[in-house]
Amino acid sequence: MRLLVFFSILLTSCAYMVSAQLPSDAQLDSMIVAHRTTRVTITGDPGVQVNIQQQRHAFPFGTAISRKAFNGDMAASDVEKYLDTLETYFNAGVVENAMKWKNIEPEKDQYSFTNADKIADWCAEKNIELRGHTVFWGRLENNWGVPAWQETVGDAELRTRIREHARVVIQRYKDQFLEWDLLNEPVHWKWYENQLGQGIHGDMFRWAHAEHPEAKLYVNDFDIVNGSSDYVDYVNLIKGWLADGVPVHGIGAQGHFFRTADASDVWNALEALKELELPIKITEFDAGGRELRQAKQLEAVYRTAFAHPSIVGITAWGFWDGRHWRDGGGWWASDWQPKQASQRYKNLVFGEWWTDTTITLDSEGNGVVHCFQGKYDITVNGTVHKEEFPMGTTDAQLSFASTEVSPQLLHPGRGAIPRKADRVFTTNGRACRNRTLQYLPAHITLDPDGQKRVHDLR
């Protein structure tokens, strides 16, 4: 009987792990177009050339940011190169170590935010979207996550201090951080839970949410997209929280690959996590090995994740071998020579997934182009127009005609918008400044006559 029960459980688990079929390369590319580009319809004078140059991605391609670049522990020449590389190739970041509890309160009641403040201020100046990492981490080993002084306090005091820590940290960066890795690695490290009971993790989210209701609070863990079965426990953990009303708003899957990164494993885990109906981010990607192997693994993970509709960001856990947590994990060597992984990354993010083109409007003054979502300079007759297609924008209509354009073409039922470049955007619930928006799910667009059309994006 026990053997039958065990066999039944094993079959159920195995079936669960192989349930999602990886799309073909062609299907992945089609999904990228469907989920990451905006179909832009342009009207204007017949024969006019329209130059479309992307300036910035809307999708967050991020990196962990080392405090060493801000605290004097890095050579000045390396600091300059580090920050220039960061600003050039990444539009998002996460604080690598400077905000972990052991680093901002190493001794009881002695807070130090200097390094975290410097990183936050620099990112704000450079318009780099920054995530907070991490408010709570129950890893006692080497006191990586749990400050040593917490081992000596009683349970009642520990609970009070957890709540106070949420207040102090969240309030301090309320105007700078709209997203946090609130709890790190709860599937694997449970010191706070062991001390205070299972409910403490949910309370962490509730207390942080009360301090800043607009902030998006993520849970973050490892061995989720690399072929391990741990993602099953992760799904069940989050599912239980959601059933209990815990305000968890997003899912972080770290992506540290020590074996070969298998796109099938990545897709399978993402499909399982998708059922929770929360946004997902690859939060800590890295891969080692020889250069070519590392570059291939980068492309496998990035292409698979970028194609998945639930993914809302990809973050590398560092980019330079001179400041990386694992040997050879960076995309630039210690002497700043680019490795194959850096070129593969640039080929994808600033090549294949980047829009820089010129179209000529047809005899009726119409043109259509798919633009990767982001910020653009669009040049018509020598005039540069600043345009933006936010994430989730499926369709946009722009008019650069020298004569008045049909109101119905631009916005059925509302009339023309008196601007140099009239606009109508169809977006998946995301507002943007100075635009007339129609909020529709990603699989619904509008025909020129205003009728909704449903598309199968899969």
Q: What is the mean pLDDT of residues 415-419?
A: 33
Catalytic residue among 96, 284, 387, 388: 284
| Catalytic annotation present for 80 | no
pLDDT score, position 259: 85
Burial of 218 (0-12, 13-18, 19+ CB in 10 A): buried
pTM of the complete model: 0.86
pLDDT score, position 184: 98
pLDDT score, position 7: 37
Tens digits of residue pLDDT in 388-415 = 999 999 999 999 987 543 332 333 332 3
pLDDT score, position 418: 31
Amino acid in the structure at residue 401: A
Of 317 and 418, more confident: 317
Tens digits of residue pLDDT in 165-223 = 999 999 999 999 999 999 999 999 999 999 999 999 999 999 999 999 999 999 999 99
pLDDT score, position 413: 31
Catalytic residue among 96, 179, 185, 387: 185
Tens digits of residue pLDDT in 229-253 = 999 999 999 999 999 999 999 999 9
Residues 6+ apart with CB under 8 A from 241: 201, 202, 205, 219, 248
Tens digits of residue pLDDT in 420-448 = 344 544 444 333 333 323 323 333 333 43
Tens digits of residue pLDDT in 40-76 = 999 999 999 999 999 999 999 999 999 999 999 999 9
| Catalytic annotation present for 284 | yes
Which of 199, 194, 255, 196 is closest to 228 using CA atoms? Answer: 255
Residue 13 reports pLDDT greater than 80: no
d(CA 188, CA 179): 22
Residues 6+ apart with CB under 8 A from 178: 214, 215, 216
Of 455 and 365, more confident: 365
pLDDT score, position 453: 40
Of 451 and 324, more confident: 324
pLDDT score, position 449: 41
Tens digits of residue pLDDT in 275-285 = 999 999 999 99
As a whole number, the mean pLDDT across the chain is 87
Of 144 and 378, more confident: 378
Of 389 and 7, more confident: 389
Of 49 and 260, more confident: 49
Q: Are 378 and 398 in contact, with CB atoms under 8 Å apart?
A: yes
Residue 297 reports pLDDT greater than 60: yes
Q: What is the mean pLDDT of residues 277-302?
A: 97
pLDDT score, position 403: 53
Confidence band of 138 (pLDDT split at 50, 70, 90): very high
pLDDT score, position 260: 87
